[in-house]
Every structure is written in C-alpha cells, then in structure tokens.
Structure 1
Amino acid sequence: MLFPNPFSMEIRGLESQGDLFDSELLEAASIYQDCDQAERVAISEDGESSGGDPSVDLPSHIGQCVERNDVATILRWFGDRTSPEFKARINARASDRDNAALLHICAEEGNADIARVLLQLGADVDVMDSGGDTPLVRTLQAVAFETCGRLALEWGATTAGRHVVALLEGSESEREVFTATLLRSELGGRRCEVVGHGRSDLNGNTCVADEHLPEKDEYRVTMEHSREELVLSHENLKRRDRTPRDPGYFVEFNEGAMTRREFASNEECQAFVASIAAGDGVARATQA
C-alpha cells in the first residue's frame, strides 16, 4: 500500500476541512508517489523537519548493518556515548536512501532488536525522511507494524496521521482495519500506567494496550512484568511512554549477542539503568 506524504499541502488542506474523503486521499497519494525525489523534498519542506544533524550522513555500510543484524559495527560507529558526535550519529540520515535514519531502515527490515537498542540509546522515534515519513509510517508501508510499529508506539511515536488511518480503514485486509482501529484510539499500542483501579495491586504498574475495544472504549492489555492479560477501561489507563531512563526492560549487547533483561518492577529497572549511568556513563548495550 502506498501512502501520501503526511505534510503535503493536499493532505493538510483536506484535514483542515475536518472530513477526509477517500477519493481525494487516493488522488493526493498518487500525486505524491509520482513525484521524483527533488519534488518530494520540496513538498516535505512544507512540514516540520525532524531528525539529526543534516551534516552527518549515514554511511551506506552502516545502514546495511541493519539488514545483517550487525549491531556491533553500528555501535562502534556511534562511538563514545558522551561524545558530541554520538547524538548526531544515532539520528544520522542516509542521503542515498531518501534521508532514512537507522530507525527507518529497521522499520523496513522489521528489525525490532536493533530498533530497541537505538531507542534505548536515545534515537528520535519521530525522525523524518525526505518525504516526511516517520519510522512508524514506514512500518505500515513495509508490513512491519506488528514488530517495529508497535515498538514505536510504546516509545511515544506520534500518530501516523488521519490520512493513513483512513486508507487503512478502507482496506480489504482485516489486519489493516484492525491496525487502523488501534491507531485511531487514544491509547492503542501505548505503554500505560494503571490508575484508579479497584485492584490496588495493579495501580502504579505498567502495561501495553494491545487492542482497542471501541464499543466501551476499553483496552485489552498485557501487564508489563506479571504478563497478566486484562481488559481495562480508558479511565484506568494513563500514558507512560518508554524512555531511556524508564524503558521497562534493558537490552544488553555482550560478546556478540543481544539479550533482553527483564525486571520484577519498573523501580528495579530504573535503579539498574541509573547504576550504569553512575558508573562509566556508558550503557552495556553500547559496548562492542
């Protein structure tokens, strides 16, 4: 499925009217997809730019590391996490791939393992390519929503845009309609904290809203640490996006292998992350 640029003048004009019409959306999508690269860049400048330092280009061989699942080479290229080059490199974009960042490439490849490491290290979940697409939008284009798309939502990605949701809703695919329902909801796919529930043992703990049940505005959730599955009202859920200091888990890279460390509670996870920061200032996931 092809999608229109979320920042194109055509789409912004349609959204300002309050209603989105499928025929007009498809026409706008066709206009954008038929543009050459120079025209796409011009269109994207109509929207807000996001991402790393544009002077830092993502080398082709580093982008290809995602395809090979070679996290060690990527981390070596990033360098010392305390250096000024680190932040620019983690969000660097490849001029030969429509200004795709590493998170975009992860989305294309469905590589959630490297995406987790990048987000844990502070990569921008909403970095944009030349066409204004975020990694979340790329997951929808690459049919990788169930891996990298859901991951992006947990880490606070902005919505994919009403036009994208409208196109998904009009699909003949049950999976795409399900995804549209999730994206249209307030908390679908998000990491949330349970609040005001009758079970006091749930309050303050986190979960992931796996599915939206629109009839009663409820969510089917999985508790983060106990793995208990529940149906909760939206009134008992508050967004609590994953952050590098509050990830809920910790991905480590040691001796050529990535492992995911689980914790009994968020407090235990936060203490672990803080202990690393208080040590040498470099998370184990950056060691190659």
Structure 2
Amino acid sequence: MKFNSFVIDPSHPEYEEHVRAVKEFEEEYGEDWDSTIIEYDNDFVNLPEYVAKAAFTGNFRIVLQWPKKGNIKERIIAKGKEAGNMGLLFFAAINQQHNLMSFLLQNGADVNVLNSAGMSVGLGPNPNRGLLWGAELFEEGEPSIKEMKLALCETITSNGYVQIAKLMSSELGGRRCEIVCAPNTRGDLVGKTCVVHEYIIESNQYKVTIEFTNEVLLLGSDHLKRRDRTPQDPGYYVESENNGLNRRDFKSNEECQAFIACLSVEKEESLENDPDAKAKAEQAATDLLAELGLEDLEGPSSNASKKKEKQSAATGKKKKRGGKKKGRK
C-alpha cells in the first residue's frame, strides 16, 4: 500500500507524523505489506486481563498470587497483548504503587522495559522510584540525547511537575549514589549511599539525603557516583505477606544484603528438604484464584507439568497469505 492511498488531508495537523509513521512501516515490511500476517515466537507470557485490572486498581491479593502459579520471573515481566504490551510494572508506575514497583523490580522486572510508544515504563507519571532503580530516558525505543531530555523536561514542567523536571534535568538528580569522596572531616561518609535531590546551580552542588540516617548534606558531583538499586542491593526489602506488601527497613546496606542472601539460602534449602514445595505453592495460588472465580479466565492450571507457560507474541517477521491480495489483481 503506497502512502498516496493513505487518505489524510495534508493540512491536517498530524499529517507529517502520519507520513513518517507510514514510511517507517513500509521500510520495515515493504511497500507490498498489505495482506501479510505476523509470525509469532514462543517466549512471550501474556498478562491476563483480570490481573492487569487487579494491578490497576490495587488488588494486591490477585496480583501477588498469579505469579506464584508458574515461573515467577517470567510472570513478573509478562505483558498484556491487548494492552499495548503493558506489564505489571507499568500499572504500578502509573498508579504510584511504590511498594508494588519495588517488589516487581526485586523479582526481576526491568525498569527500562519500553511501552508500545517506545518510552521507558520506569519514567512514568512520577519517575522518582524508577530513577533510583536506574531508569533511563528512551524516546521511540532509542536512548535519548541531551536535547531530547531537555525537551521532555520542558513538557513535564508545562504539565505542572516542576520538581520532577528539575530532578531529571541534572545528571544525578533523583538517583541513588554512593559517596566516593567525603568532605573534610567526614571520612565516615565514604562508601555510604544517598538519595540525590535537587541540583543547586549557585554552588554547583547536589542536595542529598544519606540513607539509613536521613542526614541532609550538600555535595559536589565529584563526591558521588551512581549506585542504582538492584535486587541484590535495594537498600530495603518489600515482601509479600498475607496477600499484601510490607516494607522491611534495615540499619545499613550490609545488613540488607545479608538478609537477601539468607533468604536465597533458605529458599534453596527448602527445595532440597521438600522437592514438592514449589508445586505446592503453585497449587495454593491456583486454588486461591479459583476460589475468587478467576481460574477459568486463563484456562487450565499453568503448572509446568500441565500447561506450557509461554504464549506467542509478535516478532516482526512477516509471512504472505495464500491467494490474492486484497485490492490487488
């Protein structure tokens, strides 16, 4: 299909955008893309609509049980084919459900997963949490350049989010950092982590809050280096308990890391002592969802021995249909 058959008035305000979009599509699929179908791969896990709705409305009971029915990490990163490939992290971000965001990121969610528009989910309406976990700015699937970042900050400012725009306009604003060089007489700060707030132009310093002590200081960028939160080094731990989420705080990063390492060992020992522990957990989750009347919404049980965990998703490859093409001789 040629663009000249794509009916749109050249005076339309979005004309140029439509021209660009169609040309990009034809470059990828060819000008004879009409009457093609998309082939699917098998490494995609679809997010059921009822789970997406539960995440959107804050129904943690359903959200926390569904991943336990199968491979937790695969389900944590599942995307809804009918929802623009949005996943649990997206719904948590737009609703500013910070504990749920942290729980998902601890369990393997990618803070830089892109939505259908090519934008980083971690930099949603309130990007504070995403910045701490290493979210970067993407535009149409590509890392943003400085000019693009400034343009986005202007847009955020015009929408009324002045403080967020200030954070994102500086190099380290909103980030979690490690203090690598301490001010005079404060050698005790080296190796400590902090959350960076606003950039003070006049003094060329950042206002930071030291983690665990909440001490507020002004430090230059040469005193800091990024230390994004990771599943092994989050600084705190959000755990699932009684179908809810609880945040566990610590006195230091070392204590937090030791706690997480201990959890990993306990999990391995549990599986060694009871090889059926994982299957039992999956069955318990299945039973609870069935009790809520949600089991039938995604078909039979998703236990690995009974059902394939992965579903198909588009890969961008094309395959011609047989027969004549629509509108062609």
TM-score w.r.t. structure 2 length?
0.64
Seen in structure 2, the aligned counterparts of structure 1 residues 72 and 249 have a Cα distance that, compared at 3 Å, is same
Name the CA distance, whole Å, in 2 between partners of 1:207 and 1:30: 45
Letter in 1 for 2:54: C
Letter in 2 for 1:242: R
- Of 84, 90, 95, the residue aligned with 1:98 is 84
Unaligned runs of 5+ in 1: 1-26, 47-52
Superposed, 1:163-178 pairs within 5 Å as 163-169=148-154, 173=158, 175-178=160-163
Q: Which residue of 1 is the match for residue 97 of structure 2?
A: 111
Superposed, 1:1-288 pairs within 5 Å as 31=17, 42=25, 55-79=44-68, 85-137=71-123, 139=124, 144-145=125-126, 149-160=127-138, 161=144, 162=146, 163-169=148-154, 173=158, 175-197=160-182, 198=184, 199-281=186-268
- Greater CA radius of gyration, 1 or 2? 2
The answer to which structure, 1 or 2, has the higher relative contact order (CA under 8 A, 6+ apart) is 2
Name the CA distance, whole Å, in 2 between partners of 1:236 and 1:28: 47
Q: Percent identity?
A: 37
Unaligned runs of 5+ in 2: 1-12, 30-41, 139-143, 271-280, 286-329
Secondary structure of residue in 1 paired with 2:187: coil
User: What stretches of structure 1 move > 6 A for 4+ residues in a row?
Assistant: 27-30
Q: Count residues in correspondence.
A: 237
Seen in structure 2, the aligned counterparts of structure 1 residues 214 and 28 have a Cα distance that, compared at 3 Å, is farther
Letter in 1 for 2:45: V
Seen in structure 2, the aligned counterparts of structure 1 residues 171 and 238 have a Cα distance that, compared at 3 Å, is closer
Seen in structure 2, the aligned counterparts of structure 1 residues 172 and 107 have a Cα distance that, compared at 3 Å, is closer
Q: Is the 8 A contact 1:66 1:111 kept in 2?
A: no
User: Which is richer in strand?
Assistant: 2
Letter in 2 for 1:209: V
- Segment drifting more, 252-261 vs 200-209: 252-261
Seen in structure 2, the aligned counterparts of structure 1 residues 187 and 78 have a Cα distance that, compared at 3 Å, is same
Seen in structure 2, the aligned counterparts of structure 1 residues 238 and 30 have a Cα distance that, compared at 3 Å, is farther
Two-structure CA RMSD over aligned residues (Å)? 3.2
Q: Is the 8 A contact 1:194 1:202 kept in 2?
A: yes
TM-score w.r.t. structure 1 length?
0.72
Letter in 1 for 2:64: L
